[in-house]
Amino acid sequence: MMDALRGRSELGVAALLGVVGVLVAVDASGLDAGTAQVGPVGPKVVPLLVAGMLLVCAVLLAVDVLRGGQGELEAGEDVDLDQSSDWRTVLLLVAAFVANIALIDRVGWVISGTVLFWGSVYALGSRHYVRDAVVAVVLSVATFYGFYVGLGIALPAGILQGVL
């Protein structure tokens, strides 16, 4: 049963390929070949080729998956493929990431980076709350100053403007 489900989930990939292919084709067809065209191969050609390739791949992949073919999961040193995916960890990591996106321009990198790091470490299983918080703050502050002094990039200070 799991295999049949997994087979079906890879159809999602085929669907994605199909959707992207359609998007590219639609966008390309809306291009006006008009006045600025230089040469016989205009801005539409390659997008349409790419869209065609994507759609062909989408169909062939769907066929392959339905016939039982399967993409190989990528193995690695730290990867244990015998267990099923740990979605909870991944979703928590994504949540920490999104928190950073939402906060970085509002409250500044120091705070949002701390949230990102601490959230990620928590998601990955560490339960040393205080130690992790200290490390997170140190990293955020250090990179804040480091980027400014070393690279001339001023990360947003947010609500800590004036303090930093």
Partner 1 sequence: MNALNSLMDGFATAATPMNLLYATIGVVLGTAVGVLPGIGPAMTVALLLPVTYSMEPTSAFIMFAGIYYGGMYGGSTTSILLNTPGESSSVVTAIEGNLMARAGRASQALATAAIGSFVAGTIGTALVVMFMPLVARFAVSMGAPDYFAVMLLALLTVTAVLGASRLRGFASLGLGLAIGLVGIDSVTGQRRLTFGQAPLADGLDIVVVAVAIFAVGEALWVAAHLRRKAARTIPVGQPWMGRQDWGRSWKPWLRGTAYGFPFGALPAGGAEIPTFLSYVTEKRLTRHPEEFGKGAIEGVAGPEAANNASAAGTLVPMLALGLPTTATAAVMLAAFTQFGIQPGPLLFDKEPKLVWALIASLFIGNALLLVLNLPLAPAWAKLLQIPRPYLYAGILFFASLGAYAVNLQAFDLVLLLVLGALGFMMRRYGLPVLPLVLGVILGPRAELQLRRVFQLSGGDVSGLWSEPLAVVIYVVIAVVLLWPVVRWLRGLRRQAEAPDVVGAPHPEDTSEVGHLTGTGGRDEQ
Partner 2 sequence: MTVVVLGYAPGPIGEAALDRAVAEARLREARLVVVNSSRGDAAVDNRYLQEDEVSELGGRLDASGLRWSLHQPVRGRDAADEVLQAAEDARADLVVIGLRHRSPVGKLLLGSTAQRVLLDARCPVLAVKAR
Instruction: Answer yes or no whether residue 90 interacts with partner 1 by CB under 8 A.
Output: yes
Do residues 54 and 19 make contact, with C-beta atoms less than 8 angstroms apart? no
Residue 96: contacted member of partner 1, partner 2, none (CB under 5 to 8 Å, by partner type): partner 1
Answer whether 104's CB lies under 8 Å from 156's CB.
yes
Q: Give the integer Cα–Cα distance in Å for 164 and 154.
A: 11
C-alpha dist (Å) from residue 109 to 93, 116, 159: 18, 10, 10
Looking at 15, 29, 37, 145, which residue binds partner 1 (CB under 8 A)?
Answer: 37
For residue 85, state whether it binds partner 1 (rule: CB under 8 A).
Answer: yes
Task: Give me the least distance between CB of 78 and partner 1, in Å please.
Answer: 4
Q: Which residue bears the tokens 């690695």?
A: 76
Give first-to-last CA distance, the chain, whole Å: 57
For partner 1, which residue of 15, 29, 46, 145 counts as binding (CB under 8 A)? 46
Q: Which of residues 108-147 bind partner 2 (CB under 8 A)?
A: 124-128, 130-131, 134
Minimal distance, residue 128 CB to partner 2, in Å: 6
Residue 67: CB atoms within 10 Å? 8
Does residue 111 belong to the site contacting partner 1 (CB under 8 A)?
no
68 makes contact with partner 1 (CB under 8 A): no
Report if residue 64 touches partner 1, rule: CB under 8 A.
yes
